[in-house]
Structure 1
Amino acid sequence: MGSYQPAASFGNSLLKEFPLEPTFRNLNHGSFGTYPIAVLNRFREIQDKFEGSPDQFLRYDLAHYLLESRKALGTMLNAPTNTIVFVKNATTGVNTALRNLVYQPGDIIVYFSTVYGAVEKTIASLAETTPVRGRKVKYEFPITHDQMVEKFLTVIHKARGEGLNVKVAVFDTVVSQPGVRLPFERLTEICKKEGIMSCIDGAHGVGQIPLDLTKIDPDFFVSNCHKWLFTPRGCAVFYVPMRNQHLIRTTMPTSHGFLPVPGVLKTGSEEGEQDDPYSQPFDILCNQSNFELQFEWTGTNDDIPFLCVPESVKYRKEVCGGEEKIMNYCNNLAFEAGNRVAQMFGTDVLGEFCSSGAFDPAKEKESEFRKCAFANVRLPITLVDDQKATLGKLSRPEWLVVKASDATSTCRWMERQLIQKHHTMSPCYVHAGSIWTRLSAQIYLEVSDFEWLAGVFKGLFERLAVEDAMAALDIKN
């Protein structure tokens, strides 16, 4: 690994550092991320070593590369190396944590209504195959962090009043949709006081917000590195403190590192000794725990993204000036861009103060939800029910009118137009009776990129209005 020259400044001048097509504006970094050409070169360098001698690489070299990556992330997250392993993505990490727990009748998993869809499906799957059930903390904006914490406590106390056992709580660092920062530190502390296990879905955590896992001290934490840390896809860190590592008995999928209960495969009529309890076919590093060894080999995979973490960290430090500088730029850009697009739309940005009828950017500085690299802007669309009654708390006569039953399909249509016609992307979704779009800030973007996006959206609104008028005249093709 060579040395890099520091970037003169952030913004569009950094686009040359990334392998993005010149005609594509990556305004949706939060979904799938991207990474610098320097990291891509490192990826290909390791790939060449892998393909040059697969046996040498997989049997002997891989473990050493993994250890270096784990050390790099442990330093960044202030967590011991022996508590850090890799999985493919945050969904895999949450599944690994929740599916390793043993559930009894009356156990429940508490989670928030804005949970990532795959995580809620995981809880539903567990409810089909184990005694555990889910209990949702429902909320919508406007709301404050204090109110959210109170809702969390209310659900816990109500469940206990019903004789249920809150086994584990799942919550985000930064939610996917809407893209807002949750009070995850406070929620973790409540779990400790209430005797509940905490499972933090930090899919949008590492590289976007400061994280000190020793200080936060969750029971389980997982975060994608390929979203905000500039690593190739898929790569996620899975943190389990020493006190809980005995609970993680298997990876997903179960592989060579699994230690079966002695005699579990015997039928009673069989005789003989138990098979070798550790059948890892490759050389292993000394002084590693069973937890670490389990995740070292989960089958033949292309784990090269895991091995690029040191290069990503190095690039962020040498070229970008370190984590604090990156996060400050992205947070400030998200704040300014969100406010500017809302101004152009005549709407507001989702947070504590939305739906007030008068958007005040100065007051928005107080919003805890906006202390991240996302901004969620209300689109100037009024949703109505079948009786044409307005559903949202904020609406204006000049806004486009869409039936609530068509809201999701309208979102998908706009996204398709953005990608296929305008070579960009900004996710659209429905929340609290309105349609919103989520902006993602990144070091290679500027406010002007989002001003351009607002203009593209206005063109889409005009097309929707024309098509709606044509449909009303029954002459639509």
Structure 2
Amino acid sequence: MDVSWRNKTPPKFGHAMLQYFAFNPAYTNINHGSYGSSPIPVIEACRALDSEAESNPDRWMRFSYLPRLTDVRQRIATLIGAKTDECVMVPNASHGISTVLRNIEWQKEDIIVTFNTTYASVAQTARYLSDVPPHPTMSAMTLEFPVVPATIVAQFRAHLRSLPRGPGQKIVAIIDSIISMPAILLPWKELVQVCKEERVMSLIDAAHSIGQEPNLNLSTAQPDFWVSNCHKWLYAKRSCAVLYVPLRNQHLIKSTFPTAAAYLSPADRTGPNFVEQFEWIATIDFVPYFSVATALDFRQWLGGEEKINTYCRRLARLGGQRVAQILGTAGAVLDPTGDSQMTLNMVNIRVPLSASLPKALVVQKTRTRMMFERNIFAPVFFFQDAWWTRCSAQIWNEISDFEKLGRVLLEVCAEIEHELRADQRRPAKL
């Protein structure tokens, strides 16, 4: 790749953009949402940073890394509408959420609110905390789709009001901004407002937001805690995330995870040293954090956030419709709002598989056959008594990629349905 990309005119979005990504030519990437995809300019910038670090590790670790880290925090803060000293870098969204949850001083009467759609590792963190002393209670709210945003807000308020309340009790609600699977944008800013009105703390799992969701404006939304992956939709190198804690709540984050050398015990603490603790936790690879700078430059070179997401949203909508036509499931939807309210750059399509099939085998077989036999992949998952797939639209995709996915899914689903039905009919061995 020519390092002078900054002086070139970017190609049109679609397959012409593939020259700026490192994908195997035989592979059709339509699952960007799971792990992200770094552009070649970001990969090359990371290689240069790696070389600099290894040329003099002492200078890198003792002098060079911190100015770059501060610059990245400043640039991310501007993007998400926050103050620089309200933003720190963490490895991933799950790490950031665990950091927050493990800093809260739980009591037996406290409650952790989750949803039936909460990301698995995050829900398990809440479950772990409820399993160990002092055993705060978990309270899961069930979302059933299709549903409009106003109904979600009303149901959430009703759920919070149904919880037992007592003096000094803490209630923390873990809220997805965009659910992972199914990929649905929740009205999280409105849910944050409900939390404020109901005296509940809000922890926003925004793993998919930065680089995909416009107008984040955290200083206006004012969640109590917010964390988002930069290695997904922002094009940074894995693994990299931003943890936002407003100044008013930084006294609650007493320790990093693991504990940093900058930790201060209560007797020595004259105020929060939130940023200082996250500047050096241990000897880690800072390069993924620094890759945010080149990722942001690359996105600006492409034309900026609005241009990128306008293309991806339109393609997700049209591509999802085309896949559903091919699969014969066009009438099944999870987002009743249509164009934009709850669907961004990822779309959910109903898959023609029987609900009675063994779930683990279906997931295993679809993964293997799509990835290793067809060179294309989109996760197939079971939700609300039906099978679905989640597709990601990106700047290198075109409608033909979605059509390929539809044809592959039609073949793979027919094969798996036939095989597993035959297994179910086969007499059990004595």
The C-alpha deviation readout for 1:408-465, integer Å capped at 9, x for no partner, is 3212211121111112210111111100000011111011101001111111123124
The answer to which of 186-195 and 223-232 deviates more is: 186-195
Instruction: Tell me the SS of whatever aligns to 2:397.
Output: coil
**Equivalent in the alignment of 1:375:** 347
C-alpha distance in 1 between matches for 2:263 and 2:21: 40
**Equivalent in the alignment of 1:422:** 374
Q: How much has 1:5 moved relative to structure 2?
A: 2.5
The answer to which of 227-236 and 424-433 deviates more is: 424-433
C-alpha distance in 2 between matches for 1:457 and 1:254: 46
Do 1:32 and 1:226's aligned partners in 2 also have CA atoms closer than 8 Å?
A: yes
Q: How much has 1:12 moved relative to structure 2?
A: 0.7
1:325 maps to amino acid: K
C-alpha distance in 1 between matches for 2:208 and 2:104: 24
C-alpha distance in 1 between matches for 2:422 and 2:249: 61
C-alpha distance in 2 between matches for 1:470 and 1:261: 65
C-alpha distance in 2 between matches for 1:232 and 1:251: 22
Identity across the alignment (%): 35
Instruction: Tell me the SS of whatever aligns to 2:152.
Output: helix
The C-alpha deviation readout for 1:300-342, integer Å capped at 9, x for no partner, is 1112100111111010001x10001111111111111111111
Q: 1:96 to 1:161 in 2, by over 3 A?
A: closer
RMSD: 2.2
**Equivalent in the alignment of 1:413:** 365
Instruction: Tell me the SS of whatever aligns to 1:317.
Output: helix
The C-alpha deviation readout for 1:25-56, integer Å capped at 9, x for no partner, is 11110000111110111101111111010110
**Equivalent in the alignment of 1:282:** none
Pick aligned residue for 1:364 from 323, 328, 338: 338
Structure 2: gaps spanning 5 or more residues: none
Instruction: Tell me the SS of whatever aligns to 1:381.
Output: coil
The C-alpha deviation readout for 1:217-248, integer Å capped at 9, x for no partner, is 11100000000000000000000110011111
**Equivalent in the alignment of 2:275:** 292
**Equivalent in the alignment of 1:82:** 85
Pick aligned residue for 2:326 from 341, 344, 354: 344
1:18 maps to amino acid: F
**Equivalent in the alignment of 2:29:** 26
1:306 maps onto 2:289 in alignment? yes
Q: How much has 1:469 moved relative to structure 2?
A: 5.8
**Equivalent in the alignment of 1:271:** none
**Equivalent in the alignment of 2:19:** 16
C-alpha distance in 2 between matches for 1:294 and 1:473: 60
Pick aligned residue for 2:416 from 453, 456, 464: 464
Instruction: Tell me the SS of whatever aligns to 1:231.
Output: coil
2:281 maps to amino acid: T
Do 1:250 and 1:258's aligned partners in 2 also have CA atoms closer than 8 Å?
A: yes
Q: How much has 1:381 moved relative to structure 2?
A: 2.1
**Equivalent in the alignment of 2:137:** 133
Q: How many residues align?
A: 422
C-alpha distance in 2 between matches for 1:144 and 1:446: 29
The C-alpha deviation readout for 1:112-142, integer Å capped at 9, x for no partner, is 1100000011101111223311111112212
**Equivalent in the alignment of 1:44:** 47
1:369 maps to amino acid: M
Q: How much has 1:470 moved relative to structure 2?
A: 4.3
C-alpha distance in 2 between matches for 1:162 and 1:295: 34
Do 1:201 and 1:223's aligned partners in 2 also have CA atoms closer than 8 Å?
A: yes
The answer to which of 144-153 and 33-42 deviates more is: 144-153
Aligned pairs for 1:175-194 within 5 A = 175-194=179-198
C-alpha distance in 2 between matches for 1:155 and 1:455: 42
C-alpha distance in 1 between matches for 2:55 and 2:19: 30
Pick aligned residue for 2:248 from 243, 246, 253: 243
Q: 1:429 to 1:111 in 2, by over 3 A?
A: same
**Equivalent in the alignment of 2:306:** 324
Structure 1: gaps spanning 5 or more residues: 264-276, 279-287, 354-362, 384-402
Aligned pairs for 1:263-274 within 5 A = none
Q: 1:206 to 1:424 in 2, by over 3 A?
A: same
Do 2:182 and 2:390's aligned partners in 1 also have CA atoms closer than 8 Å?
A: yes
Instruction: Tell me the SS of whatever aligns to 2:8.
Output: coil
Q: 1:378 to 1:48 in 2, by over 3 A?
A: same
C-alpha distance in 1 between matches for 2:7 and 2:176: 34
2:406 maps to amino acid: A
Q: How much has 1:161 moved relative to structure 2?
A: 6.2
1:324 maps to amino acid: E
TM-score by length of 2: 0.93
Do 1:156 and 1:166's aligned partners in 2 also have CA atoms closer than 8 Å?
A: no
**Equivalent in the alignment of 2:202:** 198
Do 2:21 and 2:38's aligned partners in 1 also have CA atoms closer than 8 Å?
A: yes
TM-score by length of 1: 0.84
C-alpha distance in 1 between matches for 2:307 and 2:326: 28
Q: 1:164 to 1:426 in 2, by over 3 A?
A: farther
Do 1:39 and 1:231's aligned partners in 2 also have CA atoms closer than 8 Å?
A: yes
**Equivalent in the alignment of 2:118:** 115
Q: 1:149 to 1:54 in 2, by over 3 A?
A: same
Q: How much has 1:13 moved relative to structure 2?
A: 0.6
**Equivalent in the alignment of 1:447:** 399
Do 2:212 and 2:345's aligned partners in 1 also have CA atoms closer than 8 Å?
A: yes
The answer to which of 459-468 and 249-258 deviates more is: 459-468
**Equivalent in the alignment of 1:156:** 160
C-alpha distance in 1 between matches for 2:411 and 2:170: 49
2:178 maps to amino acid: V
Give every structure 1 segment of 4 or more consecutive aligned residues whose post-TM-superposition deviation is greater than 6 Å. Answer: 161-164
2:99 maps to amino acid: T
C-alpha distance in 1 between matches for 2:205 and 2:274: 20
